[in-house]
Structure 1
Amino acid sequence: MRITGLYAALLALLMLGLAIRVMLLRRNTSIGLGDGGNRTLACAVRAHGNAIEYVPIGLILLLVLELNQTLPVLLHAFGIVLLLGRVVHALGLSATPGMSAGRAVGAALTLLVLLAMALMLIWQYVVIHVIAPSLV
């Protein structure tokens, strides 16, 4: 759980930074709810919201993999890709409300690492609960 804890802390810092940016923009623009048509605030809100949507499932998958005693090098690879994907996505979305390279790359990295972790957990289940008992 120490490896997942590291990535949970790093991703929490990212999400806190995104949240603080939204708060500061709200204070500076006097927009308390919604985005008031302010494009910069709208992008900041979505960058924060998108992280809130994807980070929890990523950390849950990473934690279960760690509890399954997955090789640490794989856990770090998954954690790094998840963190990198979220940072790149936030930067890309913050730059423009439309499509950007950062937004596309960040989304792709996030989806790919979630898929990889989910497939690894399914594979681990099959090996432990289907294949291994049939060998006994």
Structure 2
Amino acid sequence: MPLPVTALYAALLGLVYAGLTLLVVRGRFGTGVMLGNGEDRGLHRAVRAHGNFAEFVPIILILIGLGEGLKLSAFLLHLLGAGLLVARILHAIGISREPDLRPARGGGAILTLAVLIIASLAVLGRALTAINVLG
């Protein structure tokens, strides 16, 4: 079953992740630290932006894909996908700077959590309906 909405946002988020990866690589070669962060704050920030992305994006993309498979509305799926994309870019910008750009970091974190909760509840509701728990 094709999942074009999920594919669109997975591809866009994959490009963001590649960019975050390149920032870590640049930081590693710039500092000569190949493992950990060597107490370099810039490298630490790049590693955490990359890691935080990797911690949240997969589960949310899985939820969006499941929602698409369960025939959630295209509008909701695009809202979730676009929200996740904006949230992760904001968070990455906010956490990567010294000092933090707190509005970007905090806004990105809050928006990510909102997308996670909304996607979870939407998929849960559709799944319960599909297995006739909610009728």
Say how many residue pairs are matched: 132
Deviation at 1:98, TM superposition (A): 5.0
Structure holding more helix per residue: 1
1:77 is matched with which residue: 76, 79, 88?
Answer: 79
Name 2:133's counterpart in structure 1.
130
CA–CA distance in 1 between the matches of 2:107 and 2:33?
A: 31
Q: Is the 8 A contact 1:88 1:103 kept in 2?
A: yes
CA–CA distance in 1 between the matches of 2:120 and 2:86?
A: 18
| Pairs within 5 Å for 1:41-60 | 41-60=43-62
1:17 is matched with which residue: 16, 19, 37?
Answer: 19
Name 2:64's counterpart in structure 1.
62
* Structure 2 residues without counterparts, runs of 5 or longer: none
Query: Deviations 1:16-74 (Å, cap 9, x if unpaired)?
Result: 10001100111111111111111110000000000000000010000000000111111
**Structure 1 residues 92 and 99: alpha-carbon distance in aligned structure 2, compared to 1, 3 A threshold:** closer
CA–CA distance in 2 between the matches of 1:102 and 1:46?
A: 15
Name 1:102's counterpart in structure 2.
104
Deviation at 1:102, TM superposition (A): 1.0
CA–CA distance in 1 between the matches of 2:134 and 2:31?
A: 60
CA–CA distance in 1 between the matches of 2:60 and 2:99?
A: 24
CA–CA distance in 2 between the matches of 1:77 and 1:61?
A: 13
TM-score of the two chains, using structure 1 as the length reference: 0.92
SS in 1 for 2:134: helix
Structure ID, larger Rg: 1
* Structure 1 residues without counterparts, runs of 5 or longer: none
| Pairs within 5 Å for 1:29-48 | 29-48=31-50
Deviation at 1:76, TM superposition (A): 0.3
Name 1:115's counterpart in structure 2.
117
Identity %: 42
SS in 2 for 1:6: helix
